[in-house]
Chain A
Amino acid sequence: MAESYETDFWKDANVRKMWDEIIPGEPRPTVPYLLTREAIELYCRAVGETNPLYLDEAYANSSAYRGLIAPPSIHILLMFACTPADDWMRSPGTINAGQSWSYNIPARPGDTITLQARALDKFIRRERLFVVHDNVFFNQHGEVICSGRGHTIRPR
């Protein structure tokens, strides 16, 4: 999946929904994502994570988690990994204005992650176009990994 990931966010930019077209409450199409150990290790490098629960299989196996897990903040990767290329989350100029996330159980290498997502609300404040995001990630057993709410400022 990551191999075919489109890194040019300008591609398809003209077909993505703008603020006016976003309907609060409407589910966003999402794609399942196979979370690999390599993707977790790359994420750990990017933020300097050294916790052996994420990186040392022998240590993780002997821990209360009985195996490797991903850092809670792995949803940063999962958000884009589960979002198709024509989705407005990828619109150039999308500005993240803040987030809150609740964590239930950890994601693990080998999990197939699915996302249920939608805009929950939209409004204009201080001449800026805001959307409120509602996101829940699940593993292949249908268990909630984490749920989050975020605000983005949309490009005009």
Chain B
Amino acid sequence: MTAFEQVSVGDTIPGPSFTVTRDSIRLFCEASLDYNPLHLDDDYMQGHFGKTQFGGVIMHGMTNFGLITRMITDWCCPLAAIHRRLETRWLKPVRLGDTIEPAGIVTAKHTTAASRWVMIDVTVCNQDGEQVARGEAMVEFPPSA
């Protein structure tokens, strides 16, 4: 059976747990070159942002994206499959001390003229079980996989 044939709708994909600290945010600033004061400046974050007030620094939303990507590639690379697409929406800000964890579930499999594809719903939840991000991923299983 090929790797593609072994994947079933409903399969779950576990992701890595990640705890947010000032150090983890600082490291993400250095790695991404995103030094927006949203992530660094406590005084600035006491202010209002249109209708939103955060009350303190928040994690980069793209940390969610990086963790989801890590989950997808850790799952698909050993299967010789290729991560082709990720769409995400942020639902809640992630704050200092929060621990977040992405998870995936296979929702569909498709065969096109030249290849095979697996669709995955992804969520990122915090320690209280609240969804902080949601999205969809698409993984290609080339004919060789």
Residue contact B63 to A47, C-beta cutoff 8 Å: yes
Interface size on A, residues (CB 8 A): 45
Q: Decide if A18 is an interface residue (CB 8 Å cutoff).
A: no
Chain B residues with CB below 8 A from A96, complex form: 60-62, 90
Decide: A42 near B30, CB < 8 A? Known: A53-B77, A103-B83, A128-B51: yes
Stretch at the interface among B66-74, B108-116, B121-129: B66-74
Interface size on B, residues (CB 8 A): 42
Chain B residues with CB below 8 A from A90, complex form: 36
Stretch at the interface among A4-12, A107-115, A135-143: A4-12
Q: Decide if B34 is an interface residue (CB 8 Å cutoff).
A: yes
Q: Decide if B1 is an interface residue (CB 8 Å cutoff).
A: no
Interface of A is mostly: mixed
CA A100 – CA B74 in complex, angstroms? 20
Total contacts A-B at CB 8 Å:
126
CA A101 – CA B87 in complex, angstroms? 6
Decide: A155 near B49, CB < 8 A? Known: A96-B61, A103-B85: yes
Decide: A72 near B74, CB < 8 A? Known: A46-B30, A80-B34: no
Residue contact A48 to B87, C-beta cutoff 8 Å: no
Q: Decide if A77 is an interface residue (CB 8 Å cutoff).
A: yes
Give B90's nearest chain A residue, CB to CB. A98
CA A42 – CA B29 in complex, angstroms? 10
Q: Decide if A102 is an interface residue (CB 8 Å cutoff).
A: yes
The residue among A9, A71, A73, A127 with the most chain B CB atoms within 10 A of its own CB is A73
Residue contact A76 to B32, C-beta cutoff 8 Å: yes
CA A80 – CA B31 in complex, angstroms? 10
CA A104 – CA B62 in complex, angstroms? 20
Chain A residues with CB below 8 A from B31, complex form: 39, 42-43, 45-47, 77
Q: Decide if B3 is an interface residue (CB 8 Å cutoff).
A: no
Chain A residues with CB below 8 A from B24, complex form: 46
Binary CB contact string for chain A from 23 to 61 against chain B (1 if under 8 A, 0 otherwise)? 000000000000000010011011111010100000000
Residue contact B32 to A153, C-beta cutoff 8 Å: no
Give B91's nearest chain A residue, CB to CB. A98
> 8 Å CB contacts to A: which residues of B49-103?
49-52, 60-63, 65-67, 69-70, 73-74, 77, 80, 82-90
Chain A contact residues, CB within 8 Å of chain B:
2, 5, 7-10, 39, 42-43, 45-49, 51, 53, 64, 71-73, 76-77, 79-81, 90, 92-103, 126-129, 153, 155-156
Known: A73-B86, A80-B34. 16 other contacts (CB 8 A): A9-B37, A45-B27, A46-B32, A47-B63, A49-B66, A51-B73, A72-B69, A73-B65, A73-B66, A73-B70, A93-B49, A94-B36, A99-B62, A100-B86, A100-B87, A127-B51
